[in-house]
Structure 1
Amino acid sequence: MRQFRYSLGAMILHWAIAIAVIVNWRLASSAEGAPKEQAMALMGTHKALGITILALTILRIIWRLTHTQPPMSSMLKKWEVTLAKTIHAIFYVLLIALPLLGWIANSSFGRGVDMFGLFTIPPLPVADDPKVGGSIYDIHKVLGTTMILLIALHVLGALKHHFFDKNGEIYRMLPFGKVQA
């Protein structure tokens, strides 16, 4: 029997990463314009959660490489399959690049990443150059905005499939509902 739903492990990693990315975006947004001490606390959590997202993404990639993925619905148009595959590939690139760029930028200021007060990840061995670090933070911010826009497109696509196409595609990443072939 063909499996049309993702495995429970893939679902857990998908939703954990999705929630963490949205929370991390809100942390960074809330830090902008906040009083300095509050902004620093929010950004400290943002950085730790970013490293957590990196670790979860590596686990997700390992899971994806070691577990069979369900086929896409045969009802999807060719352009929909191409768009979905392209966006998913970009998601993986951003889920790796964003935390790494943040870590590199942070390291350019000679700072490690405090992991929720449990331990500190040391700075990467990069030059102590705040100007370069600031430029990398700017790129990180643009890519973060790109990630949020792609998430919005991803959600809109899922809602289109659910409410307009009524093809059950949304249930591939949920443990309930009927997935159609």
Structure 2
Amino acid sequence: MPERVGAGYTATARTLHWLILALLIVQFVFAWTMPDIKRNTPVTTLIGLHFSFGVLILFVAVIRLAYRASHGEPPPEDGIPPWQATSARILHWLLYLLLFVLPILGWINADWRGMPVSFFGLFEMPKIIATRAPGWNWTGDLHSLLATYALLGLVGLHVLAALYHYFFRRDRVLQRMLPGV
């Protein structure tokens, strides 16, 4: 039986949650400071770090989803309306989906552009598609749009919901995921 803190998440689940957040913050810093990727843009240090952190996020997301599948989630707090529990579950699964879709779209787009995707220079990821493969030039635009609007929007909604529970409902929904609580 996994170790639970009250009715909250396990220490492993909380660690993976906050690790993903930290990696996403770093990833967005790289994304917003690296040069725009054009037809012949070389892989700069920032672009290489963006690729490496994308691979790392995908790897941690696989671990996180496997852990979630094998350990489940704690039951909702007492008094949470069913529609809130359902909407929270949908929001979490949409976030999980984006943690997979975004790195894969970025990887495909790098392959399409002929840019090698490496993991911090330790090894190069295999190519998913051929350079300039017909019909794949849209992947970079979709990667950017989903990251900027869908991911940031869902994360914002997630944070607002946690703050709503803490400040207005005054329940323990937020505390269940806080480290060290």
Q: Which runs of 5+ in 1 are unaligned?
A: none
Structure 2 residue identity aligned to 1:14: H
* Partners of 2:23 and 2:160 in 1: CA distance: 19
Aligned to 1:26: 29
Q: Does 1:159 align with 2:163?
A: yes
After TM superposition, the score normalised by the length of structure 1 is 0.86
Q: Would you say 1:4 and 2:19 are equivalent positions?
A: no
Letter of the structure 1 residue corresponding to residue 142 of structure 2: I
Which segments of structure 1 move beyond 6 Å, counting only runs of 4 or more?
36-39
Identify, as 1 or 2, the structure richer in helix: 1
CA contact 2:43–2:115 (8 Å) conserved in 1: no
Give the conservation status (yes or no) of the 8 Å contact 1:32–1:39. no
Distance 2:101 2:41 in 1: 27
1:40 to 35, 38, 44: 44
Written as runs of structure 1 = structure 2, the 5 A alignment for 1:80-99 is 80-99=84-103
Count residues with an aligned counterpart: 175
Q: Residues of 1 paired with 2:69 and 2:25: CA distance?
A: 25
Alignment of 1:72 with 2:76, yes or no, is yes
| AA in 1 matched with 2:140 | Y
Q: 1:115 aligns with which of 105, 116, 119?
A: 119
Paired residues of 2:112 and 2:132 also in contact (CA < 8 A): yes
Question: For 2:9, what is the secondary structure of its paired residue?
Answer: coil
> What one-letter code is carried by the residue in structure 2 that aligns with 1:20?
L
Q: Alignment identity in percent? A: 34
Aligned mates of 2:169, 2:44 — CA distance in 1: 45
**Structure-1 residue corresponding to 2:132:** 129
SS at match of 2:8: coil
Match of 2:20 among 14, 17, 34: 17
Q: Which residue does the alignment assign to 1:148? A: 152
CA contact (8 A) 2:117 2:125 kept: yes
- Once structures 1 and 2 are overlaid, which stretch shifts more, 48-57 or 76-85? 76-85
Select 1:53's aligned residue among 53, 57, 70.
57
**Structure 2 Cα separation of the partners of residues 131 and 65 of structure 1:** 37
**Cα distance in structure 1, aligned partners of 2:117 and 2:140:** 15
